[in-house]
Structure 1
Amino acid sequence: MLALALCGALSPVAPGAAVADGSDATPLTRPDVTPGRVVTSGALTPPTDLVDAVALASTDAPGHDSALALRADGTVVGWGDDGHGQTSVPDGLTGVVAVDTAGGSSLAVRSDGGVVAWGDPGSGVTAVPDDLGPVTAVAVGGRLTDDTACSVAYAVRADTTVVRWGGAASATCPGLGDEYDVPEGLAGIRAVSAGDTVVLALRDDGTVVRWGPGLAAADGVDPATWQDMTSVSAKGEHAVGVDASGRLVGWGVWGEAGAPTLEGVRAASAGRQVAALRDDGSVACLPGCATPPGAPRFQAVSGGSDQVLAVLAPRSDLPPAPSAGPGPVQLLPGYVGPDYAMNPPAGLRDAVELDATSFAAGGNTAMAVRSDGTVVGWGSRYPVRLQPPAGLSDVVDVGVGAGFALALRADGSLVPWGSGSVTTLPPDLGPVVAVDAGGTQKAVRDPDGGPPTVTTCGVALALRADGTVRTWGSTGATCRALTEAMAAPADLTDVVSVSIGDEYAVVARADGSVVGWGPSWRSYSTGLALERWESVTSVSTDRARIIGVRADGTVRLWGVTGEVPVGPLDAPVVAASAAQTSGFLLGPYGRLVLSGGPTGEQQGRYTAVAGGDNYTLAIAVGGSAAAPAVPPLGATTVTTRRIGMAAGVATAFRYPANRADPVWRARVFVDRSTTARGLRVGIYADDDGRPGALLSTASTDSVVPGAWNTVLLDRGVTVQAAGSYWLVALAPYAGADDGSTAAPRLVLRGADGAPPGTPSLVSADRTLTGLPGAAPTDPDDPGADPATTWREGRTPDSGPASFFALT
């Protein structure tokens, strides 16, 4: 395995993991790989929050497959079979630049050349030699079955020699003997890879050395004869390599299919299913197996027994988020809400900034800054004292907290209002560039047994122009302790983003680090590994959620129960807002995702978002988040006419383009009678009145019946005003119905104004799991013939559907 890049500071590793020190080595680096989410073609499903992987390693062990992913921050995550502890990554392992796993054991190389091992101790791989010294690459080989766990390890030292350890006999391993020993005098090695019965070492001159028991009946060309190779991979009983011309060659037990060969490859990973990463960013699975979902923008791959794993690069073809407002404020569904008392005032259609608070601060309250610099407020318990002062103008930001509010004016001054001493600004505050408001209510017990007295305690947080932070708050007897505990650390400087909860604050600094403090910080942040929150550019918090947006557009989301999965996200996040029950992520072109709640992606385009208990408010783009009256392609009207289709049958609807425009999303109205959970959507060119070339696809496995469902296309398509296109919907086939339950069914709604002569078409194949014509394995295959792929539906007048594509 080749060395990868330094991605994080080194730290002590938890007890139980074997470590070889390499502190005298030159730091190792990895190729410049953009972090991305991991996708799979099989059942080895990666964690949903794994959106920042840069490298992969997986096993070829049917029934016992596992995988490791190296994250951009230098940490490692494992999943799959953990029967020998091979995916239980040691606590505190950071600064990793390369990983490998096989036979129940795992290895990691750190940026200082040190090696960390974990997993099955029986074969001896976890007993890393003390004299190993700094290394540049590692490999683990071996076999893992129901009865056997055998592993052997190899490392390439800094002097280009190779060291072996492990393979000892144990209760689960008969022992891996001399045939696995490194050939005497072997040097000039830059990479090594190990399978079950074969080990490959890649020399600096591009030749390959092979050793191990070998294969009795191998197909393909012996690796010992390979020339001018740039990479090699061995796994199980298979070996592949890629030469300088981009040609993939294979050797191993392949059966009737024979050893794989392919041109235009930049990297490959061996296994029963070989993963080949092509020059165009697509993935080929050989011989003839399924590939992971996604457009051709993959960056790293790993083959296996019955799946291929790949790192999917973030979208680069999406437009940026729209500039802030002005736009209307809209009430969106919350976790269990919404709180309809939070509906914004009628006529509020020119907001540019939002802030909101929740019940712990005395009631759901929101405020918006309008494009003319004035402020408007509302809420379910909106008190008169929170009405903005008369004449308040030139406001650029607003914060609403417990019983008070703060407005930041364009000249850097603050205007407070509300109740309590928190509205008295501290002296010498100086110019301010950002504000936030928080606090809570405290109940004081009546010594005579009467009802408790409730006191509202406000706390304010200001980021000053010099990068320092100032806090102040209510000074009454009940609130004084909270205000004092909320004082910012004296040495806190270079702050770029601030946010405050009820009894704690969190900030991001210019170096990307995150700092938190306050009476409840310890309880809320227990277990929070802030070292994984490096490169954070902005933070947001509200009582029980903390969100950090990093420079690469990935997100960390923390809740009271621990790290909250975020993803999969198809593109970088540009802004975020935290609330008690959800995290709100604003992505490219204004897409809004609610993470931590069941509502998923919202249907409009937005420029700002804020929320509290059971509600979400957002500023929509251009006046409305509703379906556009005339989209670039398709129909937005919804009738009572139902269009039903069984799972496995694709249905196509033809539409003339309404105008020339790029589209990145598709929306389809799904009837409430739908029982299918999965939906695949495609845009096809027109080929003489039938769907032709497949231009773009989208998918979801969380269909919401009785609503518009929005999906993100895997690539943008520019529709031409004079052209016609086909929008296709499919609920994937899930196998024959066993009679115990009704077969899944997708039901759409019809749209008004079906043009004459445009009947819907259905696929001839009634057991489709993917869209017809999607990603043929053979690049020279022209695809399926439209004349035989599609036929008229049973109801030719069923088109069009409530189905459209939009920017």
Structure 2
Amino acid sequence: MVNLHHNPAGVRLRRAVDPPFRTYLVAFVSALALLWAVATPVQATTAISPEVKDASSILGGRVVPFGGMPATVRSGEFISVAAGLRHYLALRADGSIVAWGDNRYGQTDVPAELTGETVIAVAAGDWYSLALTANGQVTAWGDDSAGQIDVPQSLATTSVVAVAAGEAHSLALTSDGHVIAWGSQTETPPALTGRTVTAVAAGGDHSMALLDSGEIVSWGWIVDGIADVAETLGGKTITAVAAGVDHSLVLTSDGEVMAWGSDAKGQSSVPPSLEHVTISGIAASGDHSLVLTSDGDVIAWGDNDYGQTAVPAGLNGSHVSVIAAGPRGSMALSSAGKLTAWGADFNGQADVPASLAGKTVTAISAAYFHSLALTSDGKVHAWGSDFAGQTDVPESLDGKEVSAIAAGGWFSLALTSDGKVIAWGAKGGPQIDVPASLDGKIVTAIAAGEDHSLAVTMDGKVTTWGYGVAGDNAVPPAELADESVVAVAAGQDFSLALTTDGRVLSWGDSAANLEVPGSLTGKTVIAIAAGDLHALALTSDGHVTAWGADNFGQTDVPTSLNATAVNSVAAGASSSYALTSDGRVTAWGANQFGQTDGTDGIQGKFVTAVSGGAYHALAIVADGLQTPAIQAATLASGQVGTAYDSPLVVSGTPQPTLAITAGQLPPGLALTPDRRIVGTPTNAGTYAFTVTATNVLDSASAGFTISIDPATIPPIRPPGQPSAGGGSDKAGGTPTQPGNNSGNVVKATARVTAKLKRKTVTTRTRAHVIIRVQTKNATRPTGTITVKVGKKKVTKRLRVKNNGRLTIMLPKLRKGGYRITTKFSGSRTAKAASAKKSLKLRVVKAKPKAR
């Protein structure tokens, strides 16, 4: 696993070489509706339901983020903070520590020995942590590759008053003004002998000590004069020191900030605007610098690759009292102890923008540093880091209706309602170079990985583009050539495809370790998701299967899901999510930033969609839901042989599913999706029955009664007596007898039309027959459609939700001419019928594939 980093040259957004914890791909959330519509086998049922499978496809709502920062940190109050490379420490007034972020070396596992101790200071190195207790003792934990957490035994009997942590070395200041060092630096300079030190700072590979005389001593790896006291300090009294990885920062007694060392990112170029500002505090780390003004404002300069110098707009004016800098991020505490953080892990990707207020969001996509949302008006909203242009929604989308979104490593994709893909971000990299081969084609699904993109076209074929790493974006495997794909998902260096018959295929750099498990053989998969190095599949029976990397437990599917109907799945970098039919989210896997347990904002809410990023996640919450209600009644009476139509009074949001749960309807009548009882009664009598209305919130039942009167019987005439219209019954005629009220079901006449999508296909492609069934009574017909081509037959069920329309894909055929016939089986309310005209199909030999 690897990490995304900014490439200043803009040549290629790839990976850096620091310890592994990579960013996230995002699997596209909105494909769920397509999966339900195309891939979900519909089970036979007596219930009448809306035309969509799950509430997520009919409900929008508002975006609720979770993760990005643990809930205990968001709501907590603190007196001090510290930032490492990818982990963070916060100190409460009671002396307890909250730690979060990357924990690969145990740097956020606060030692049990600190339980009950009062901690008065914390410090964070790149991959380790330090704590100083009120009794002057130092505790260290995390990475020990350079001995940086091996606290010297000499400190056990010494009272320490301050600590500092560099990349891989630690400093302690004792109560008698001495400095002790350990880790990658163990020596202190002779210049400190006999001097009293009042403060220390640790940088990348250098250290600083502030003497009680107001002078400073600096030592360590001298690069660009880092460890050399700046010549311009002559005669000035220093009151505070701070150290970045390659630069140094001091505050003088007259409030002046001075810096020296590397200035590659402008970190040593003190802004002129500080000349007339009173400074009360300084901080430095990595390649950036911070100052705190006397009126509680924060000013930052230097490296902004991760947004670490982009001070949040609402921060200044909140009376900041404490600042801290990490290699890639910055932190501030207000006078009330509330934490604000910005930079690599805090680019605002979990801060829902005001532009979404009052909007209905229908789809979401969470990436590493940014997030996307699609509103009901087809507009795309983007927020979070924009250093690669990934949140600059292009003007080319103006006036277009977007139907799907996907957020990748440093780029974004949008699919318009006319099937076109628009891509932006990645500093113009190949991830956004939509292939010309898609011109003129209709794209039905998209997915964005770390560095590659996927698209599915209407003919079920997959197109890939972006950076080619061991095949992750190469032409899909040969076994896909003859498959029809309905959905795709993109991981760090691998891709997944879901076929129309519910099988999953995997390919790419990580495919060897992500081979689709045998447990899915013979099962119908209806949804897929891809994380960093793990994958998820949802089968038609509502079960979740996970495989791949499990270093954070991301493939340990909770047993609690076994008894729950799962509607959709999503994958974060190293986390997994399942959305159940009752609108609840179950999350497991990595939790460094509360991305799997920081779900307080969605507890008790009905969630319609979820998307996982690297360190945060997004959910769509549907507000304004209403439990079902159904009004009991004695319905209008009917008569045998006479059309009947009576509405039911039913309410609820989303629209409830209706089912007859007790008793029976009069024969000939049926319950329809639009809450009506319709048909033509065939038997007289009084019928009592119960209708149950169910939606995602609850169920409600009510009893009903319908009386059906016998058909009107004409008077009996003696044989030979003229009828009212003249003439007479012929000998042997049998008049209608009383009591013969059974009658026959009056079926509507059906009309079947069929046409070919293409009249000529090749031996390598499959023809599509588009069929429409209409009935004179305007009800939505149901039944079986049979298409016969040559000696082959293809049968497909026509359901209420199809609204009389079906498309049937024929099998591959040999070269030649074929005649196609189409038949409708009819149903209880509609007569059987056939298309009046047969279709003519021509199959030509396919050209050999180019080698």
Same fold (TM over 0.5): no
TM-score (norm 2): 0.30
Structure 1 or 2, whichever has the larger Rg, is 2
